[in-house]
Amino acid sequence: MTGGQVMPVVLEADQMGPVDVAVIAFEGSDFSGEVAPALADLQASGTVQVIDLAFVRKAADGSTSIVELADEPVAGAFKRLADPQVELLSEADLSDLAGGLAPGSAAMVVVWANRWAARFASAIRESHGRVAMIERIPQENVERAISALQEEQSIGADDELASTERSARYARMVSCVQSLPYIRR
């Protein structure tokens, strides 16, 4: 990358935390770069390490395109980020993703290592443990759950989470735990 601070991506498995792939969808097919400062701050603080980053869009006529980090208009907005040297996102993956977008929309695809969790991940490996299950709850769902909880507390209503949804989540957890090789049945 030219014109910005380039920080090479160095991947060391024993020092990495979990890795996420996030697809951030945007209305419209232009990238404003408004999320760039927040992502750059997360990387600069050591919270995450951006491993790969790309952008896809689908025009109103249904045609799709892939925009790389070095391409305009994103190059200027994302110049504070490391120029990812590890291309985990293939052109086929990005094309598939772009094809799934609604016409006239775009998405940022970012692969990042959760540096904040690296110490804990290392401790798990050293203790011969492994993560049996992890489930990320989208922020919108957290907001709904908090609202439902507050409403429940204020009116004394029954649990908002349907028993079938609770049962499905519980069954996933039990199945995951039972599949562990060191759990006695």
pLDDT tens for residues 119-162?
888 899 899 998 888 887 778 877 877 887 777 777 654 455 55
Give how far the C-alpha of residue 28 lies from the chain's centroid of Cα atoms, to the nearest Å: 21
Question: Do 39 and 114 meet the contact criterion of CB atoms below 8 Å apart?
Answer: no
Partners of 110 in the beta sheet?
22, 53
Tell me how far apart the alpha carbons of residues 55 and 38 are, in angstroms, rounded to a whole number: 17
Domain ranges for the chain, please list them: 13-121, 132-178
Judged on CB neighbours under 10 Å (0-12, 13-18, 19+), 56 is buried
Share of residues in the chain with pLDDT > 90 (%): 27
Q: What pLDDT does 95 receive? A: 92
Indicate the pLDDT class of residue 4, thresholds 50, 70 and 90: very low
Helices (H), the chain: 36-44, 74-77, 91-99, 118-126, 139-155, 163-178
19-27 and 105-113 as β-strands: parallel, antiparallel, unpaired? antiparallel
List, for residues 34-49, the tens digit of each pLDDT value: 899 999 999 999 899 8
Report pTM: 0.67
What does the block give as tokens for 35?
């999320």
Tell me how far apart the alpha carbons of residues 111 and 125 are, in angstroms, rounded to a whole number: 22
Share of residues in the chain with pLDDT > 70 (%): 72
- Tell me what the mean pLDDT of segment 65-89 comes to: 79
